[in-house]
Amino acid sequence: MTSEKVKENDLVFLILDDKRRWLVQVKGGGSFHTHRGIIEFDEIIGKSYGTVIFSKPYETQGYKFYVLKPMPSDYVLHMTRKTQIIYPEDAGMILLYSGIGPGSRVIEAGCGSGALTCILGNYVRPSGHIYSYDIREKSIKNARKNIERAKLENIVSIEYGNIITDNLNLKDIDSVVLDLAEPWLAIEKAMSYLKLSGTMVSFSPTIEQVKKTTFAMKENNFIEISTYELIKRKIQVKKNATRPESRMVGHSGYISFGRKIDDLKNPYRERKPTREEFFDLKDMPLRS
């Protein structure tokens, strides 16, 4: 299999070192300016991902930059954003525990910068769709730009909408993903969009939000309700000093999941006795 070439308007992941890295869209005739020199896009277009390029002017700069194909996690960490980030480990759990995959139809309420939206869009290709909504015009504008940069316009639609009050006119949705201040208010409405066995996902930064959302899911007959918190530690590997890094993200958020069912009362195990039951313990041996 031949290496994939960088095409005009592609997103590339430029790496200078462990701390300085950028997600950039390459356009013919354009350039990217850094404190370590200038990267000419014409020198990247047509090259294979996984190669290197040197910054100009070569005589005074000439620093080596690695050109990689962006991973979904790179969209999350390095795209333009003005809202709280959902970290790659959280996005990975959302995908695995929600069952979102190729062909899935997903409602996302609270798109923010569109970072998670891009990841979801990548995973529902080629026949799925992400219906993303937000009530903040700035977020919608920023998310649409990021979706265009990721070339997901045919997979993702971002619209103004409030899942709590608006009728989204959707049905048989595979999964609903909530990133809202008051997600518990959206549970009943979201349930009407989900197909049977569909999944509900809610991302919240505080445990108070989790409690109210969990109780709302129980009231609406969701099952398999669980909440998780993920903590990831990066390991610093050196020849004689391998240890966890000193700094880490101690808390990102809580992720709650639930499954929609068509509940029925059990006619066999939930029958009430026809007369009051009484157990007589007289003359029975009891331990003191």
Percent helix, strand and coil across the chain, each to the nearest 5: 25, 30, 50
Reported pTM: 0.77
Confidence of residue 277 (pLDDT cuts 50, 70, 90): low
How many other CB atoms sit within 10 Å of the CB of residue 90?
A: 21
Q: At residue 278, does pLDDT exceed 80?
A: no
Confidence of residue 102 (pLDDT cuts 50, 70, 90): very high
Q: Is residue 201 within 8 Å of residue 255, measured between CB atoms?
A: yes
The per-residue pLDDT for 70 is 86
Q: At residue 77, does pLDDT exceed 80?
A: no
The per-residue pLDDT for 281 is 66
Q: How far apart, in Å, are the Cα atoms of 73 and each of 23, 54, 84?
A: 11, 25, 15
Please state, rounded to an integer, the average pLDDT across all residues of the chain.
89
Residue ranges of domains in the chain, CATH in brackets: 11-70 (3.10.330.20), 73-259 (3.40.50.150)
Q: Is residue 143 within 8 Å of residue 117, measured between CB atoms?
A: yes
**pLDDT, tens digit, 9 for 90 and up, residues 125-135:** 999 999 999 99
How many other CB atoms sit within 10 Å of the CB of residue 258?
A: 27
Helix spans in 49-136 (H): 72-78, 88-98, 115-124
Residues in the chain, total: 288
